[in-house]
């Protein structure tokens, strides 16, 4: 608060206003931002701990740098809520992740202060380097700053970017926000290295870090000496990894102490050095007890009670698919010691935390490194183990070449457990599991399954355990199952065989995955309109069950496929098959219902499916849209009664 008790935040419409404040006001401003953020997220839910940890850093960066002219890029973007509050979006902060509201990540369309959109991790240094090189090329002079977390720093892409940046002299500032946490506790040698880096050093304040920078100026002199100096520092003084990669390392700095942060950032801004890495140490969840105490559990939250930190979770009516996966895999692994599990920094998100509790020595968290996770799994499989590589559908996109080149081409029996398949709600388009059916379905010989409910998931896990001939994948959505009884043990399925769930006469709905429940609702509705409807569960997107498809095609007037995936997936395969067999020439009506060919914004999942036209209502509408036309055609041939039935 300022002296007259007007909140400082009320005076800040833009970062220009922030920069007009006296430095002495900044700690109070930071506290206000923190309270504002806690308040907002307590209502909206969202990513809590990461943003709280960078409140002071955010204030300092906008105070020192001339944003948006200077480009500030937040890695992942899940920590950008304080940034949004300070960059003209405070009035909409309580719309975070709600329909029509602010995105939970940075987004170019949303603000000029978001020069690069994110959601997936470890892209910031590459993007920032590209922007820095473009700036130099166009002879501009602004700064480019990437802020990347210690977790995100575990991904290969960050090193690809540093490798490139370290060999160039482009002025680029990377702030490493080291809170010693990923979503789960961080893993790997780099994390251990950062801890060692900290343990030997006390925080550097103004004088020390000022010296760190001053040592490296002026640019002209430094340019000549640069390589020699780097080598000397690297070899003789045991310089940091970052220095050896060609960066100037500044830090470690207490990221909650504005009187340390500001002068260091000012020095960094004033320097003309090539890539600089500022190592800032923060605490995830800072300033909110429950988030500090359990940074993993309060990484992402539902709406919550601020006093107790208790989250408001709707009562579950069925177990989550993720939990069913974790528990089923434990049961399978008790009988098969070749089963091992791989996660890329998402043990709780994928349910492998459950597996890890029973089999810690058979669980491998490789960090945010999906590409490595896949090829590492390929190696495990090559030696006869049964790796279950559990990765969210959208993050698996990262590892496409590894899937093709390291797994599928070599026919290695890696089992892909693809969580968050389909629309995911508040995380929006970056996290939607829309494409796996298309991007995996075109790979030769891969087996691709999608359970209709949680019991089917247990069967598919058993199928994957039993299947040793090559790669096999099963994809399932975020959230709860449908509440069916779970079998004691899953039973392996016949590869490539679907099932009829309900027999009808005129319309056939062929569902892949958990839209089956919507298909059954649609079938009830259609039947009540006189359109007897068969519902089948394809189970396999690859190989498709051609016998089942041919039967549906031969015995019905209209065949609709329904899947929670983009165009080019299961439906395309069915259409291709029917075209090939001549069923289309014989007058069969076929439609593939998929996600639309556009990105869908964050919203509640049910609302997203309504927008996507992939629920019971849309299925019924689609059938009614096609059959009147069909009945008109048929009526010329004497089936006029159809029209009458449909229109009632």
Ligand X SMILES: CC(=O)[C@@H](O)[C@H](O)COP(=O)(O)O
Q: Which residues bind ligand X (CB under 6 A)?
A: 47, 76, 78, 183, 299-300, 349, 420, 424, 427, 478
Residue 79 or 271 with smaller CB distance to Mg ion: 79
Q: Which of 9, 76, 264, 390 binds ligand TPP (CB under 6 A)?
A: 76
Q: Which of 96, 181, 414, 549 binds ligand TPP (CB under 6 A)?
A: 181
Q: Shortest CA distance to 245 belongs to which of 303, 167, 313, 316?
A: 167
The one segment of 180-188, 376-384, 512-520, 534-542 that binds Mg ion by CB under 5 A = 180-188
Task: Indicate left, alpha or beta for 421 from its phi (over 0: left) and psi (-120 to 50: alpha).
Answer: beta
**Residue 453 binds which entry of ligand TPP, ligand X, Mg ion, none, CB below 5-8 Å type-dependent:** none
CB 120 within 8 A of CB 76: yes
**Residue 115 binds which entry of ligand X, ligand TPP, Mg ion, none, CB below 5-8 Å type-dependent:** none
Task: Indicate left, alpha or beta for 187 from its phi (over 0: left) and psi (-120 to 50: alpha).
Answer: beta
- Hey, what are 42's tokens? 């307590």
Task: Report if residue 149 touches Mg ion, rule: CB under 5 A.
Answer: yes
CB of 357 to ligand X, least distance (A): 18
Residue 178 or 545 with smaller CB distance to ligand TPP: 178
- Hey, what are 201's tokens? 């050093």
Q: Shortest CA distance to 416 belongs to which of 397, 391, 439?
A: 391
Beta-carbon contacts of residue 341 (< 8 Å; ≥ 6 apart): 329, 333, 352, 355, 356, 359, 362, 363, 364, 387, 388, 390
Please calculate the CA angle 564-324-524 and round it to the nearest 5 degrees. Answer: 45
Q: Which of 9, 96, 172, 183 binds ligand TPP (CB under 6 A)?
A: 183
First to last CA, the chain: 66
Beta-carbon contacts of residue 544 (< 8 Å; ≥ 6 apart): 496, 538, 570, 573, 574, 577
Instruction: For tokens 């509201």, name the residue.
Output: 101
**Residue 398 binds which entry of ligand X, Mg ion, ligand TPP, none, CB below 5-8 Å type-dependent:** ligand TPP
Task: Report if residue 179 touches ligand TPP, rule: CB under 6 A.
Answer: yes
71 phi and psi angles, rounded to 5 deg: -90, 125
CA-CA distance, 239 to 250, in Å (whole number)?
11
Coil, helix or strand for 433?
strand
CB of 513 to ligand X, least distance (A): 17
Residue 188 is assigned to a ligand binding site = no
CA-CA distance, 254 to 261, in Å (whole number)?
7
* DSSP string of 70-121, one letter each residue: SEEEESSSTT-HHHHIIIIIGGGGGGTTSTTS--SS--TTT-TT-SS--SSS
* Partner residues linked to 173 by β-bridges: 145, 276
Distances (CA, A) of 503 to 42, 452, 524: 48, 17, 12
Task: Indicate left, alpha or beta for 329 from its phi (over 0: left) and psi (-120 to 50: alpha).
Answer: alpha
CB 68 within 8 A of CB 142: no
CB burial of residue 234 (10 Å; 0-12, 13-18, 19+): middle
Residue 23 or 99 with smaller CB distance to ligand X: 99
Going residue by residue from 35 to 74, which x/- string records binding to ligand TPP, judged by CB under 6 A? ---------------x--x---------------------
Going residue by residue from 103 to 132, which x/- string records binding to ligand TPP, judged by CB under 6 A? -----------------xx-----------
CB of 427 to ligand X, least distance (A): 5
Residue 118 or 181 with smaller CB distance to Mg ion: 181
Q: Which of 71, 83, 284, 286 binds ligand TPP (CB under 6 A)?
A: 284
Q: What is the helix (H) or strand (E) element at residue 535, kind and residue range? A: strand 533-537
Beta-carbon contacts of residue 572 (< 8 Å; ≥ 6 apart): 438, 441, 592
* Partner residues linked to 475 by β-bridges: 418
Residue 151 or 300 with smaller CB distance to Mg ion: 151
Q: Which of 82, 101, 151, 571 binds ligand TPP (CB under 6 A)?
A: 151
Task: Report if residue 252 touches Mg ion, rule: CB under 5 A.
Answer: no
Residue 181 or 380 with smaller CB distance to ligand X: 181
Task: Report if residue 181 touches Mg ion, rule: CB under 5 A.
Answer: yes
CB of 530 to ligand TPP, least distance (A): 49
Q: Which of 102, 152, 173, 276 binds ligand TPP (CB under 6 A)?
A: 152
Residue 343 or 631 with smaller CB distance to ligand TPP: 343
Question: Which positions are catalytic?
Answer: 284, 370, 398
CB of 438 to ligand TPP, least distance (A): 19
Task: Report if residue 367 touches Mg ion, rule: CB under 5 A.
Answer: no
Residue 68 or 151 with smaller CB distance to ligand TPP: 151
Q: Which of residues 379-398 bind ligand TPP (CB under 6 A)?
A: 395, 398
Task: Report if residue 263 touches Mg ion, rule: CB under 5 A.
Answer: no
Residue 554 is assigned to a ligand binding site = no
Biggest CA–CA distance in the chain, Å, is 93
CA-CA distance, 514 to 335, in Å (whole number)?
29
Q: Shortest CA distance to 299 belongs to which of 117, 155, 192, 151?
A: 151
Nearest residue to Mg ion, scored by beta-carbon proximity:
149
Beta-carbon contacts of residue 463 (< 8 Å; ≥ 6 apart): 449, 472, 474, 490, 492, 493, 495
Residue 152 is assigned to a ligand binding site = yes
CB of 149 to Mg ion, least distance (A): 4
Residue 76 or 448 with smaller CB distance to ligand TPP: 76
Task: Report if residue 345 touches Mg ion, rule: CB under 5 A.
Answer: no
**Residue 79 binds which entry of ligand TPP, Mg ion, ligand X, none, CB below 5-8 Å type-dependent:** ligand TPP
Q: Which of residues 415-454 bind ligand TPP (CB under 6 A)?
A: none
The one segment of 142-150, 239-247, 394-402, 580-588 that binds Mg ion by CB under 5 A = 142-150
Residue 121 is assigned to a ligand binding site = yes
CB of 393 to ligand TPP, least distance (A): 12
Going residue by residue from 302 to 341, which x/- string records binding to ligand TPP, judged by CB under 6 A? ----------------------------------------
Residue 120 is assigned to a ligand binding site = yes
CA-CA distance, 275 to 223, in Å (whole number)?
13
- What are the residues binding ligand TPP (CB under 6 A)? 50, 53, 76, 78-79, 120-121, 149-152, 179, 181-183, 284, 345-346, 368, 370, 395, 398
Q: List, as residue ranges, the binding site for Mg(2+).
A: 150, 179
- What are the residues binding Mg ion (CB under 5 A)? 149-151, 179, 181
Q: List, as residue ranges, the binding site for thiamine diphosphate.
A: 78, 119-121, 151-152, 179, 288, 370
């Amino acid at each position: 608060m300022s002296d007259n008790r007007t909140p400082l935040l009320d005076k800040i419409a833009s970062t220009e206003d922030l920069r007009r404040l006296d430095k002495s006001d900044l700690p109070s401003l930071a506290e206000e931002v923190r309270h504002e953020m806690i308040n907002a997220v307590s209502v909206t839910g969202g990513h809590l701990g990461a943003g709280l940890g960078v409140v002071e850093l955010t204030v300092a960066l906008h105070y020192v740098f001339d944003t948006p002219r200077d480009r500030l890029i937040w890695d992942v973007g899940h920590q950008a809520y304080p940034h949004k509050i300070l960059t003209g979006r405070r009035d909409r902060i309580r719309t975070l992740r709600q329909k029509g509201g602010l995105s939970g990540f940075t987004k170019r369309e949303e603000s000029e202060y978001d020069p690069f959109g994110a959601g997936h991790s470890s892209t910031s240094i590459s993007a920032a380097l590209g922007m820095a090189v473009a700036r130099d090329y166009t002879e501009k002079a602004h700064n480019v700053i990437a802020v990347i977390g210690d977790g995100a720093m575990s991904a290969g892409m960050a090193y690809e970017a540093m490798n490139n940046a370290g060999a160039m002299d482009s002025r680029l500032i990377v702030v490493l926000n080291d809170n010693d946490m990923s979503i789960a506790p961080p893993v790997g040698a780099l994390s251990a290295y950062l801890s060692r880096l900290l343990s030997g050093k006390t925080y550097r304040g103004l004088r020390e870090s000022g010296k760190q920078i001053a040592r490296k100026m002026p640019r002209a002199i430094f340019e000549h000496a640069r390589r020699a100096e780097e080598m000397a520092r690297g070899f003789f003084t045991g310089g940091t990894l970052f220095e050896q990669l060609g960066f100037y390392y500044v830090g470690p700095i207490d990221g909650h102490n504005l009187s340390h942060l500001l002068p260091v950032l000012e020095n960094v801004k004033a320097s003309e050095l090539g890539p600089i890495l500022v190592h800032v140490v923060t605490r995830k969840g800072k300033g909110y007890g429950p988030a500090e105490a359990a940074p993993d559990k309060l990484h992402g939250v539902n709406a919550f009670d601020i006093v107790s930190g208790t989250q408001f979770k709707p009562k579950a009516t069925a177990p989550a698919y993720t939990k069913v996966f974790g528990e089923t895999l434990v049961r399978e692994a008790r009988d098969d010691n070749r089963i091992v599990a791989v996660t890329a920094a998402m043990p709780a998100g994928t349910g492998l935390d459950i597996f890890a509790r029973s089999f810690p020595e058979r669980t491998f968290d490789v960090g945010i490194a999906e590409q490595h996770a896949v090829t590492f799994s390929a190696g495990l499989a090559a030696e006869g183990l049964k790796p279950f590589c559990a990765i969210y559908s959208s993050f698996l996109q990262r590892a496409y070449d590894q899937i093709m080149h390291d797994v599928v081409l070599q026919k290695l029996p890696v089992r892909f457990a693809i969580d968050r398949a389909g629309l995911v709600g508040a995380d929006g388009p970056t996290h939607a599991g829309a494409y796996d059916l298309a991007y995996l379905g075109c790979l030769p010989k891969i087996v691709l399954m999608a359970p209709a409910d949680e019991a089917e998931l247990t069967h598919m896990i058993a199928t994957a355990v039993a299947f040793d001939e090559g790669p096999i994948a099963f994809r399932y959505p975020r959230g709860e199952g449908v509440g069916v009884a779970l079998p004691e043990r899953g039973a392996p399925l016949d590869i490539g065989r679907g099932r009829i769930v309900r027999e009808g006469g005129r319309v056939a709905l062929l569902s892949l995955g958990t839209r089956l429940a919507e298909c059954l609702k649609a079938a009830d509705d259609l039947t009540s309109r006189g359109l007897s409807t068969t519902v089948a569960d394809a189970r396999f997107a690859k190989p498709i069950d051609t016998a089942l498809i041919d039967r549906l095609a031969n015995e019905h007037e209209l065949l609709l496929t329904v899947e929670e995936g983009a165009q080019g997936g299961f439906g395309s395969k069915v259409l291709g098959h029917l075209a090939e067999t001549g069923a289309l020439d014989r007058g069969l009506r076929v439609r593939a219902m998929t996600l639309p060919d556009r990105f869908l914004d964050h919203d509640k999942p049910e609302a997203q499916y309504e927008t996507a036209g992939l629920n019971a209502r849309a299925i019924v509408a689609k059938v009614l849209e096609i059959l009147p036309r069909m009945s008109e055609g048929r009526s010329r041939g004497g089936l006029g009664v159809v029209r009458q039935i449909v229109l009632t």
